[in-house]
Structure 1
C-alpha cells in the first residue's frame, strides 16, 4: 500500500472524491472547450465575467447571421452536474448549446455558477440569480454587454437548464414572483430531465435500489439539510415547499427520458403544476429509450434533435 497516497474521506461515485487533506478530485466533466466560432452551426460564443467578487462568469452564444435590426429571444441557461461537476466550458455542453442556439435562433447566456463542495448550496442559486439580474440590467441600458444591448427581445426571456440546471430554473422562477427582475418579461421555463428527488420512492425508483441510493447521496453531499431529500430545494412538492402556483411565468415545458431514474420526478412536477392554481400552460415531452442527459452526450442523435425542435417551438411560439 502506498502510504504517500492521500486518504479518501468522501466519495461520490463515479464523479468525485474528497481527500482528507482537503483536495477535491473531479473524475468527470473536466474537459475544456474554448469559446469560439462554430463552423458547423454558424454560432459564435464568448466568455464574460458577471460578478468579479465571486468570479462567476458566463458564456454568451449568438447566431452569426442575424441582421443587426432583429431582436432575438433570450435564454438564460444553467448546466447540470448535480451541483458539483461540469461547467460552461464542458465540450459536451458547448456543442449542445451551439446546436440549440442555431435551431431556436436565440441569444443564450450559459451561467458558470460556483460548485459544491467548495461552495455549498445555496451558492449556485445565488450565483444564478445574480446572472439573471445581470441580464436584466440591459433593459434600461444599465448593462454594458454589446451582445445584449439592443440585440435581445427582453419581452421574451426564458430560464432553462438540464438536471441540476432545471432545478435552478424552477427556483429562480419562484423567486422572480416576489422579486421582479425589472423590465424583463419572463415568458417561460425549460426543464430538461430536472433533478428533483424525495425521501420516499415513487414510480419505478423502488425497483432500482442501486441508482436510488446513488441519487440519495448526491443531495446529501451538496446540501446539509435536516430534511435530507425532502428539502424543498430538491423536492418542490414536499410539505413546506413554495407553491407551484407562484411561478413567475405563463409557460413551462418539462422534458423527461424513459430510462432516466429521475423521470418520475419530472412527471410528478408536471402533473402537480397542472393541478395547482398556476394559470399558465404546461407541456411535457417524453423521450423513450434514452437515459439522463442523453442530449448532452450526443446532441446530434435523432431524439436529441427532435427534443431541440420541441424546445425551439416552445421558445418561438407567440
Structure 2
C-alpha cells in the first residue's frame, strides 16, 4: 500500500526508495507512476496486462508484441521473460521506466516479452519475489502446447527459445530461476531456457572485492539492503545474493546454454558481475558465457536515457543475444 501522509511517525526509511511508518504503511517514493497497456505510438509495440497469475495477489504480467505480429499469421518468436529491478522494493512493469524500456527492447529484438510484477519487500519479504517470479514463468510455460489462456503466447511464442532477463534485482531473480530450473517439475517438457541476460546484476557478499572498499558510503548502503529485503536470511553470503559464496550451489548447474552478463564501469556492483562471469566460465558449465562492460556509465544508466549511444549499443547487444539462431530475423 502506498502512502503520502506525513502525519504518522516514521519507523525507518531507506532512501531514495521509501519509508515505513509505525502504523505499517509503506510509502514508495520513486517509480510509482503507471502507464496503461496500449499500442505504443513510437514503436508500434502492443501490450496488455494479465492479472490473477497468483489468485488473490497483486502479481501480474504485462505482455508485449512487435507491431507486425498483430496482423501476421502464427509467426513464432523467442520468448523473453523480464524481471524489473528496483532493489526488490520499488517499480512495476507499468511504471514509465520499464514500460518504455520494454517497448523499445521488443521493437529492437523482435521478441514476445512477458514483464513480471512480483510482490515486493518490506510488506512481502524475500523469498516471495522468487516464488512469484517462478509462478509467472510457469504460467508462461503453460502455453507450450498452444492451449494456454493467452492467445498472444499460444500463437507467437517459440518455447524452444525462452530467455530470462532482468536488471539489478531482476537480474538476481533471473539467475536464481535459471539455477533452479534443473529441478524436477520446474518447467514442463518442451520448454527450454536457452539463455539468461543479467544486466547490472544485484549480487553482493560480506567481504569487499575489487573496488568496493573504495566506495564506503555505497558499500554501507548495500550492506544494509539485503537484511531489509530478506530478513529471514540476512546473511550477505546467502546463495540468493552471493551466487559464488563457498556454500552456494555450483554455477555449473545453470539450466541454460548461454549467459550474457552486462556491467557498467561506474557501478559498485560491477566487480560482482565480473566475478560471476569468471567463476561461471571455470565452473564446468557447458554453455557459453559472455560479458560486456559499458565505459563511463553507472548502474542501470540505460533506463534513464534509452536513446543515448551507450544505451542503444547495449540494447543491440541484447537483441543479438536473443536472436543468435537467426531464423527469426
User: Fold-level match, TM-score > 0.5?
Assistant: yes
- 1:220 maps to what in 2? 227
- Does the 8 Å CA contact 2:204/2:242 hold for their aligned counterparts? yes
d(CA) in 1 for partners of 2:296, 2:38? 33
8 Å contact kept, 1:104–1:311: yes
What SS does the corresponding residue of 1:9 show, helix, strand or coil?
strand
Instruction: Report the secondary structure of 1:194's partner residue.
Output: coil
Residue number in structure 2 paired with 1:23? 25
Structure 1 contact 177–247 (Cα < 8 Å) conserved: yes
SS at 2:12 equivalent: strand
Residue 58 of structure 1 aligns with which residue?
A: 61
Alignment of 1:98-247 (within 5 A): 98-179=103-184, 180-182=186-188, 183-225=190-232, 228-247=235-254
Deviation, structure 1 residue 226: 5.3
In structure 2, runs of 5+ residues without a counterpart are 1-5
Q: Would you say the 8 A contact 1:225–1:231 is kept in 2?
A: no
**1:150, distance to aligned residue in structure 2 (A):** 2.4
Measure, in 2, the Cα distance between the counterparts of 1:251 and 1:76: 15
TM-superposed CA distance for 1:220, in Å, is: 1.1
Q: TM-score, normalised by structure 1?
A: 0.96
Q: Distance in 1 between the 2:149 and 2:269 partners?
A: 39
Alignment partners' CA distance in 2, 1:241 and 1:227: 15
CA RMSD of aligned residues (A): 1.2
CA deviations over 1:54-91 (Å, ceiling 9, x no partner): 23100000111132232010000000011111111110
CA distance in structure 1 between the partners assigned to 2:293 and 2:223 by the alignment: 24
Contact 2:227/2:234 (<8 A) preserved? no
Q: How far, CA to CA, are the matches of 2:124 and 2:146 in structure 1? A: 32
Whole-Å Cα distance in 1 between the matches of residues 168 and 54 of structure 2?
24
The residue aligned with 1:291 is 298
More off after superposition, 19-28 vs 93-102:
19-28
Q: Equivalents in 2 of 1:192, 1:314: separation in Å?
A: 13
The structural deviation recorded for 1:228 is 2.0
Q: Deviations over 1:193-218 (max 9, x none)?
A: 00000110111110000011111111
Aligned pair count reads: 315
CA distance in 2, matches of 1:193, 1:111: 18
Matched, 1:265 2:272: yes
> Could you tell me how far 1:142 is from its partner in structure 2?
4.2
Report how far residue 227 of structure 1 moved: 5.2
Question: After alignment, is 159-168 or 215-224 more displaced?
Answer: 215-224
Equivalent pair of 1:12/1:217 in contact (CA under 8 Å)? no
| Kept after mapping to 2: 8 A contact 1:220/1:228 | yes
Query: In structure 2, the residue corresponding to 1:133 is in which secondary structure?
Result: helix
Please give the TM-score of this superposition, normalised by the length of structure 2: 0.93
